[in-house]
Structure 1
Amino acid sequence: MEAVWAFIKTYYFIPLALVYIGVIATILLENRNPAKSLAYILILLFLPGIGLVVYFFFGRDMRKKKIFSRKAFKDLELSGAYFNNYFEASGTQLLKMEQQIGDLVQPFRLLYQQRQSFVHTGNKVTLLTNGEEKFPALFEALEKAKHHIHIEYYIFSRDDVGERITEILLRKAAAGVKVRLIIDDSGSNRIKDIPKRLRMGGVEVYRFMPVHFASLSQANYRDHRKIVVIDGLVGFVGGINMDDRYLNNQKHSLYWRDTHVMIEGSAVKALQFQFFLCLGFVSKQQYELEPVYFPDREDEPGEGNISIAASGPDSAYPYNMEVLLSAIHQAKKSIRIVNPYFIPSDQVLTALQMAVAAGVEVELIIPGKSDSFIVQHSSFSYISPLIARGVKVYLYEKGFVHAKTMVVDGEIAFIGTVNMDIRSFYINFEIAAIIQDKALCRQMMQHFADDISHSRLIDAEAWANRPRLHKFTDSVCRLLTPLL
């Protein structure tokens, strides 16, 4: 028996211990966010074997660098050619905007200085609430396509909406329109045979980072964007996926509240540019930015000034988080946020507390009931410090609020795919439109007031007196947030 035990120690425990010591040392040397490092170390220590597998497939930053290093290099080449044409004109526009909105120009300036986006002027922006408004507008725009249709989506399902879009795309491809579709392999797990049918009809279809056993390490990085570009003239972006549930009809019992925008004008070029960056990555081809995909309009259809914030695990910095922080720091009157997965970084949490402490009215709407138990309770763990400082937090009760929006001082609006959590800020590919448009902001403020009418304001005393089991559940779920 002693010999067996000696054999086990020599050939199992000691090598395993050395592996664990090496992995923990690697985690520490990577100098990650301390909470994330601690979460992985705890999993390794308390779930031997399982923890090692979880870290191997999902936790290694070196694998991320290997996956995206080539993409970042190609992106840099494309970006240089793209920005050189517009850099000077955009700088002049920033000065004009500063005269109109003062320090709220900072998010636009940040993206400009980091060569991430220039300011696009003269855009018409149409606010689309829920699938009831988004899908009819999208179907109509797709039907008018003459040269190309580009779609990049997280969720594309084979249901009534998916079938209608598929029918339009096949018909347009048969008529000579160039149609390209990028779908996230994980998010679009209910698309079934649609990709096969589209390819047979002449549509280019690409799956973003397909997930199978040999590529489980890629499963953590998802394309969460929702982009449609038609003829380089019309673009759509926001939180609404290609799925029936957003129609709020009799087929689904749960009401889904979401926000999207249709953009007509020069800002569509920025959405097009981001689509081509992703297209080059998924197709492993190099594309020229041909003028036919970036047409100039003779008119300026609207008054909206727009910048596009795009970020992902290949980004040098978390640009979507940075533009949100920049706007929060410049707020003078009000900040109104709607977000379904509110698990804020320390920076965002502190910024909101500082804003309300400085006299800014800060209001936040989150779901009263989420589609994720862990996310819901993680979100709840952040509420107490916010309401203690004076932030008004509402729980949406009409259904599930999935919109990802922010309006600051009634002057600028953020509408996109970005959740206020670590995954959106650092891990997923995300996109948002930062918009200066008075009419749009008024609409957004009206919609926020309507959403509040379907929400319950959290009472600080009642929240503090919740059952200890609820508080304990929130705290346990919060420990998992660095890994979500």
Structure 2
Amino acid sequence: MELFLVVLDFVKQWYWIPLFILYLGVISTILIENRNPSKTISWVLVIAFVPFVGLLLYYLFGQKFIKVKRIKRESRIQELRLRNEWNRFIPYMERDLERLSHRIGNLSRVFRFSTNERLSSPTLGNQVTLLINGEQKFVELVKSIRDAKHSIHLEYYIFELDRIGTHILDLLEQKAEKGLSVRLLVDSIGSPTLTKYFVKHKESKIKFVSFMPVQFTSLANSNYRNHRKVAVVDGKIGFIGGINISDRYINDKEDDGELYWRDTSVKIVGNGVAMLQIGFWNSWNLAGGYPYQLKDGYLIRDDTNPKKGDAAVTFVSSDPGSVGPFNMEAILIGIGEADWKIQLVTPYYVPSDELSTALKVAAAAGIEVELMLPKKSDSYLVQHATLSFVKPLLERGVKVYFYDKGFIHAKTINIDGKLSFIGTVNLDIRSFYINYEVAAIISDEVLCSQLEKQFELDKKECEEMTLSKWKKRPAWKRGLDSICRLLAPLL
């Protein structure tokens, strides 16, 4: 008993020494990682001024040194696996890049960027179909699955077992029973119900894998999520965009109580789908799915047949192990080469300094820059952080619209009616640096025209924010915006 009291007294008197060493070690680690300065300062402040809780938050959501090092190592392994296949595409790439330069001028540099970074080969002669909301996307996806003859690959952040989710899962089970290669990759955080389903149904013929499952020993993985929404059918048809597999994306006219959900996806048919297939293969391997070879039936590239359409397509993917924030960089190149108009739609706007500056400079240089955001976000902190970034845009001439019909979840950019981005990438730091994301970059006059018309339709459901309106907001709300902005690097 006396020994216990002595130890207790020692701990009471000297507890601060091991705690100080722990804090010093964590803060030193953050500094060594050479993060974005604002992110570094934010984490240091959280750890210093929120004792114990700050350390816990950093463990769960902040530490990245070991994890990202592993992710980068796995990315290099994937690159080596694909080197031979990439080299086979080189003659096509240079030919297509030259044609693109004649077609869209300097905007073709976005395609050159994806090629130089070995993210995706540019492809011409694709057919693209713009899909607005779940009402259009699911009709096309279900039809493609029903008609599949060889393979079905799905990669989704959210796959819910509601009406549409159960319907698609039943179709996948039927196709797998018939001998097709059906692979389903979902995020463990975004799709917990489906993950539990496959734990109970081990007899399923569907090849299933859950991305980075989170257990007590791997809680830190919860910060790195696969946010992609991709489907590849028979190596010929691809789907990409913001629409997950869930009833919420279907606006049922019979149920007026449901929140209206505005979103956008695109269906791609042609040689570009081979690049989307490779992206799925990479994700499957990273998630630990049972390995398979990219052989006949999976990668279909045929330049001898008549072209499917007139669209040029490439893809930009990014993840926490990427050499750079590739999606953000591709967007910056497109903004920098714009001549007259940029239209952006995003549900979350917590931008990097680079993106914020690019938009302000473009508007100040006489380019019409329009940004559409939801009037009411599904995240209180993000909503107020976003508002803090709006004022500088308004001061420089950017037009900002707040969508009021429901929740706008689309992630699209349309530049000069010549180049469009449609994918899973939000205009926020999490999408640029933390999540696994992918975007289709498309040059097609018809698609760009459709995107512009849809933007104008959506504007009718918006309230335009002006600088005078922003200044009339209550002081306490503007103060709250500023406070939430301090947390922006951590959101």
Shorter-normalised TM range: over 0.9
Aligned equivalent of 2:269, options 264, 272, 285: 264
Counterpart of 1:48 in structure 2 is 51
1:79-228 alignment to 2 at 5 Å? Answer: 79-191=82-194, 193-196=196-199, 199-228=202-231
Cα distance, 1:466 vs structure 2? 1.0
Aligned residues: 483
Alignment of 1:23-422 (within 5 A): 23-191=26-194, 193-196=196-199, 199-249=202-252, 250-251=254-255, 253-283=258-288, 286-297=291-302, 298-422=305-429
In structure 2, how many angstroms separate the alpha carbons of the residues matched to 1:67 and 1:188?
24
- For residues 95 and 296 of structure 1, do their structure 2 counterparts lie closer, same or farther at Cα, with a shift above 3 Å needed? closer
- Normalization by structure 1: what TM-score? 0.97
After TM superposition, the structure 1 stretch with the greater mean CA deviation from structure 2, 80-89 or 346-355, is 80-89
Aligned to 2:452: 445
For residues 313 and 222 of structure 1, the distance between their equivalents in structure 2, rounded to whole angstroms, comes to: 10
| Identical pairs, percent | 43
Secondary structure at the counterpart of residue 148 of structure 2: coil
Q: Structure 2: 5+ residue runs without aligned partners?
A: none
Query: How does the TM-score come out when normalised to structure 2?
Result: 0.95
Distance 1:230 1:360 in 2: 39
Question: 1:70 deviation in Å?
Answer: 3.8
- CA drift at 1:75: 1.2
Amino acid at match of 1:45: A
Q: Which runs of 4+ in 1 moved over 4 A?
A: 2-6, 196-199
Which letter maps to 2:283?
Answer: C
Q: Is the 8 A contact 2:315 2:438 kept in 1?
A: yes
How many angstroms apart in 1 are the aligned matches of 2:107 and 2:134?
31
Show the counterpart of 1:470.
477
Counterpart in the other structure of 1:480: 487
Look up the equivalent residue of 1:467 and give its one-letter code. Answer: P
Cα distance change, pair 107–399 in 1 and its aligned pair in 2 (3 A): same
CA distance in 2, matches of 1:288, 1:391: 48
SS of alignment partner, residue 15 of structure 2: helix
DSSP-derived class of the 1:245 partner? helix
Q: Is the 8 A contact 1:394 1:452 kept in 2?
A: yes
- The alpha-carbon deviation at position 51 of structure 1 amounts to 1.1
Counterpart Cα distance in 2 of 1:82 and 1:429: 23
In structure 2, C-alpha distance between the alignment counterparts of 1:197 and 1:258, rounded to whole Å: 33
Distance 1:197 1:230 in 2: 26
User: Shift of residue 333 of structure 1?
Assistant: 0.5
Is the partner of 1:305 in helix, strand or coil?
strand
Alpha-carbon offset, residue 80 of structure 1: 1.1
Maintained 8 Å contact 2:403/2:458: yes
| Distance change (3 Å), C-alpha of 1:421 and 1:37 | same
Quick one: which amino acid aligns to residue 268 of structure 2?
I
Partner secondary structure for residue 410 of structure 2: coil
Q: Which amino acid aligns with 1:117?
A: S
Supply the RMSD in Å over aligned alpha carbons.
1.7
Mean Cα deviation higher: 403-412 or 17-26: 17-26
**Residue 465 of structure 1, CA deviation:** 2.1
- Contact kept? 1:312, 1:429, Cα under 8 Å: yes
Give the aligned residue type for 1:105.
S
